[in-house]
Structure 1
Amino acid sequence: MNTSRILECINGFRNSIAYLTSIIITVYVVLGVAAVSLDVNNLPGVLDVLNFDQSGTAQTLLTTLMAGMISLLVFSFSTVMSVLTQAGSNFSNKLVFGIMTEKRHQQVLGHYLGTILYLLILLLVPTNGDTPDTWRSLAVYLGAGMVINSLAMFVFFIHGASQSVQINAITQGLLVSTQLSLDKLRKRQDRDEYTCQTGEVDLRAGHPVHSRDSGYIQAVNFNALAGIARRHDLTIHISFSFGDFVVKKFPILIIEAASPPDNRLVEQMLACLEYVEGESTRDHYVNGLTQLMEVAIKALSPGINDPGTARLCIHQTTELLCQRLMMTPPNAMVDDDGRCLMSWREEDIESLLFRVFDPILHYGGRDLSICLSLLKAFKTLSNFAGPDDRPVIQAHADRVIQLMADHFTASLEVAFIEARLAGGLHRLHIDSRLPERSASS
């Protein structure tokens, strides 16, 4: 197995629900093995009162605790899966995986399964004599304490799961995780070795490096990849956009060098790519924007018909795009002499606005509250946009205004719209009257 495949498996395990769960389970298993394998005789005599006097009492207690834990496990996760299924049908199925992989849920699952395995170890290994000694009795009492701990975690688990599927918590979680991704981009922008280069890179020239696997590549190890380029005197161009689905054998890297890279160097470069399962909002901020958009259009579907949720998503998206407008994301790394070590693609504002707001306008264009929320979003964005980005925002605002002029023609609707058309603080050119209806309408 090559190095890139090993690192990919390790990263996949670290990002899975089994990582933290398996660590906690290991601790419980070690405790169980220690309880049945160690022979401790020098315990204080005061602990003798904890011994079980009658034969079979400890075994019966462990059996009862085991049955109770299995029932608790089944009930907890059947309830949670029912809640998550409802949330997935109302909002987005992508959010269900994110909720289940939260660390607090992994911790609860680890404690549940660990407690069951601990009790199982005590049941499988018989005691010496009719009644357990003090050390083994303490192990049984520890098992009872683990069950009590699981009961307390059950209460917090059900509360946390029910809170996590509320729309306010979902959108706020997407907002926070996407802001963390933007913070990484902002820190990268402040470093001297990162720069923003204009002009298109000719990806047809150079030596291609093809992908070995298919999947989503959310990010790369920039420092490691730039170090390879510096040591071997070459330039690496990343031919895909972060967050794209890359198929096997796709030329993902274009190498500018005198000779094509050998297999060892190719393996080193491929090991710098970070594959993830699904769309990670912490690694790539665009995924957070698109997931908010998907929640909005799901809320606008006829089966759900919840424009309030869609407006909430528009507000959160506007907040994130305002932060993005105040940045100039770098798309290249250079050395101390200014030579380009590597370059990649960064999505521009025009593409982001169309990707995020066009589907919402398509599905919610007949809802006046959605149209006004979109117009207000564009007004807000215009205050943060520079001269180069403002015409794109103006074009989107004009489209929303024309759509309202075509669809809302009643006198009350027109008066309501025109009273709010040009109001607010913005830098757009908006008339206080709706334009004439287009010929196509």
Structure 2
Amino acid sequence: MRALLSWPLHLLKAYRQSIAYLPSLLAVVYALLGLAALLLPVSNQQLPGLLTALGLEAPEATRALLAALLGGMISLMVFSFSMVMSVLSQAGGQFSHKLVFGLVTERPHQWVLGHYLGTILFILMLLIVPDVAGGETTWRSLAIYLACAMVVHCLGLFVYFIHNVSESIQIDAVASDLHRATRLALERLQARQQGERWRYLPTVVPTDNPRHVIHARRAGYLQNADLSALGELAARVEGRVTLHFRFGDYVVEGLPILSLEAEDAPDEAWCAEARATLTYLEGESIADHHLYGMSQLMEVAIKALSPGINDPGTARLCIHRLTDLLARQLRWQPSNCLLDAEGRVRVTWPLARFDDLLYRLFQPILSYGRQDVSIGLALLKALKSLSLFAEGESREALQAHAERVIETLAEAARHPLDRHFIEARLSTGAHRLDLPLQLPPPRASLAVERAQ
């Protein structure tokens, strides 16, 4: 039953996340207004005298005006979005192609598109039915006035739309939006994992029951899962469910995605309900998986460090945003187990280790910016700040990365002036890392010394 209900729910979720969600709703509202203007039998006697005085003598003679408004609206919409796609294609070349679709599908842009489409639909309905019943000229005249007001409103939206799109492709806005979306996704995850049922266990002791593996029936990105529903399914058969993938992984058909530790093997209906709790999405959804936001910030940074763009300021801006997100990650330990009311583990899932996350985010930036002293110093400052929130293995990972950054700085800075500038900033600022007071000699110098 859950498998049957999951399909329309997933379809509704995909519709709400598509670019057609708000435009289609607004188009329906405008269509209802058009039907009210055409079908409601409102006579002149039912309206106030002030409105009657505004009525046109022959509303059906305004077809030329309505046709001009319709042509202008179509031209306005085509011009707006052709220009937007041109601007966003350039933004994709400068930042990351993953950001282009997200900028197009922003809610303000959907609102503007919906008002454009709705106005065109309303005017088109007035053109299709030009005849006016006797004694209802005022009601149709008001509809024509409303069509003119809609066009003026769309002209104002056009100015807002151009301004908003121009601001949305600026690097400050791009980095801030990615940072905000990732932070909100992390806060939503923290809110979901509140309560005694959500726990983090360093090691999960396996049960004595046999393990029954369940394979994927389709390929795609597994963004999330209804862990509470999986816990109920596991409690129904007195077992434990273990997920074999990290959220956001791409799985292929036939891959083992979860296993059930229970005395009896699950039937096909139970397996279908378990698969129905998994959420597949195409692409990367920051709202469903906050680590995607961090990865996109890293990709924007390395794109800015490419030889064709060569914008280290953008990379440093992304490093600052990543530092804040990683600090929030360090201050909170996500859960990897879901317990039932009796305290028994029902669902377990793997988590991304902090050292893995740190390597995936900082190492590409260090590799692309290894010749830029400012990038190395920005990464070192980020590692210093993160060390104030880290303990145990996390702090050891930060120490190892700091040593690698210092080694890279030593290779990039061979002039005494550069080395003096860097050494003055090695141990400054609050941190809990063991850093040297001087840069080590470059590897080439070491090789010469050994040869002598």
Coarse TM-score class (shorter-chain normalised): over 0.9
Is the Cα–Cα contact under 8 Å of residues 235 and 342 in structure 1 kept in the other structure?
A: yes
1:128-171 Cα distance to aligned partner (Å, 9 max, x none): 36997121111111111111111111111111111111111111
Give the 3-state SS of the residue equivalent to 1:389 in structure 2: helix
Report the counterpart of residue 312 of structure 1 in structure 2.
317
Which among 70, 80, 89 is matched to residue 76 of structure 1?
A: 80
Q: Residue type matched to 1:24 in 2?
A: L
Is the Cα–Cα contact under 8 Å of residues 215 and 246 in structure 1 kept in the other structure?
A: yes
Q: CA deviation at 1:13?
A: 1.1
Q: CA deviation at 1:328?
A: 1.2
For the residues of structure 1 that align with 2:204 and 2:285, how far apart are their CA atoms?
Answer: 27
1:115 lines up with 2:119 in the alignment: yes
Report the counterpart of residue 291 of structure 2 in structure 1.
286
Give the 3-state SS of the residue equivalent to 1:218 in structure 2: strand
1:21 lines up with 2:26 in the alignment: no
Structure 2, unmatched stretches of 5+, are 448-452
Report the counterpart of residue 193 of structure 1 in structure 2.
197
Is the Cα–Cα contact under 8 Å of residues 59 and 132 in structure 2 kept in the other structure?
A: no
Which among 324, 341, 346 is matched to residue 351 of structure 2?
A: 346
Q: Residue type matched to 2:84 in 1?
A: V
Say which is worse superposed, 239-248 or 114-123, in terms of deviation. 239-248
1:93 lines up with 2:60 in the alignment: no
Q: CA deviation at 1:2?
A: 4.2
Q: Structure 1 residues 227 and 130 mapped into 2: Cα distance closer, same or farther (>3 Å)?
A: same
Q: Residue type matched to 1:14 in 2?
A: R
Q: CA deviation at 1:205?
A: 6.1
TM-score by structure 1 length? 0.94
Q: CA deviation at 1:297?
A: 0.2
Is the Cα–Cα contact under 8 Å of residues 42 and 136 in structure 2 kept in the other structure?
A: no
TM-score by structure 2 length? 0.92
For the residues of structure 2 that align with 1:137 and 1:201, how far apart are their CA atoms?
Answer: 76
For the residues of structure 1 that align with 2:420 and 2:332, how far apart are their CA atoms?
Answer: 38
Sequence identity of aligned pairs in percent? 48
Is the Cα–Cα contact under 8 Å of residues 4 and 270 in structure 1 kept in the other structure?
A: no
1:241 lines up with 2:256 in the alignment: no
Q: Residue type matched to 2:293 in 1?
A: G
Which among 366, 372, 386 is matched to residue 381 of structure 1?
A: 386
Give the 3-state SS of the residue equivalent to 1:323 in structure 2: helix
Report the counterpart of residue 11 of structure 1 in structure 2.
13
1:364 lines up with 2:366 in the alignment: no
Is the Cα–Cα contact under 8 Å of residues 50 and 134 in structure 1 kept in the other structure?
A: yes
For the residues of structure 2 that align with 1:202 and 1:302, how far apart are their CA atoms?
Answer: 51
Q: CA deviation at 1:113?
A: 0.5
Structure 1, unmatched stretches of 5+, are none
Give the 3-state SS of the residue equivalent to 2:279 in structure 1: strand
For the residues of structure 2 that align with 1:277 and 1:97, how far apart are their CA atoms?
Answer: 12
Is the Cα–Cα contact under 8 Å of residues 7 and 271 in structure 1 kept in the other structure?
A: no
Mapping of residues 173-322 of structure 1, within 5 Å: 173-199=177-203, 206-322=211-327
For the residues of structure 2 that align with 1:186 and 1:4, how far apart are their CA atoms?
Answer: 25
For the residues of structure 1 that align with 2:135 and 2:233, how far apart are their CA atoms?
Answer: 66
Q: Structure 1 residues 202 and 290 mapped into 2: Cα distance closer, same or farther (>3 Å)?
A: farther
Mapping of residues 140-179 of structure 1, within 5 Å: 140-179=144-183
Say which is worse superposed, 335-344 or 212-221, in terms of deviation. 212-221
Q: Structure 1 residues 376 and 230 mapped into 2: Cα distance closer, same or farther (>3 Å)?
A: same
Report the counterpart of residue 425 of structure 1 in structure 2.
430
1:67 lines up with 2:71 in the alignment: yes
Is the Cα–Cα contact under 8 Å of residues 4 and 268 in structure 1 kept in the other structure?
A: no
For the residues of structure 2 that align with 1:17 and 1:10, how far apart are their CA atoms?
Answer: 13
For the residues of structure 1 that align with 2:205 and 2:78, how far apart are their CA atoms?
Answer: 55
For the residues of structure 2 that align with 1:110 and 1:260, how far apart are their CA atoms?
Answer: 51
Q: Structure 1 residues 232 and 29 mapped into 2: Cα distance closer, same or farther (>3 Å)?
A: farther
Q: CA deviation at 1:77?
A: 0.7
For the residues of structure 2 that align with 1:420 and 1:142, how far apart are their CA atoms?
Answer: 65
Q: Residue type matched to 1:93 in 2?
A: H
Q: CA deviation at 1:424?
A: 1.3
Q: CA deviation at 1:359?
A: 0.4
Is the Cα–Cα contact under 8 Å of residues 221 and 249 in structure 2 kept in the other structure?
A: yes
Displaced runs of 4 or more, over 4 A: 129-132, 200-205
Q: CA deviation at 1:121?
A: 1.1
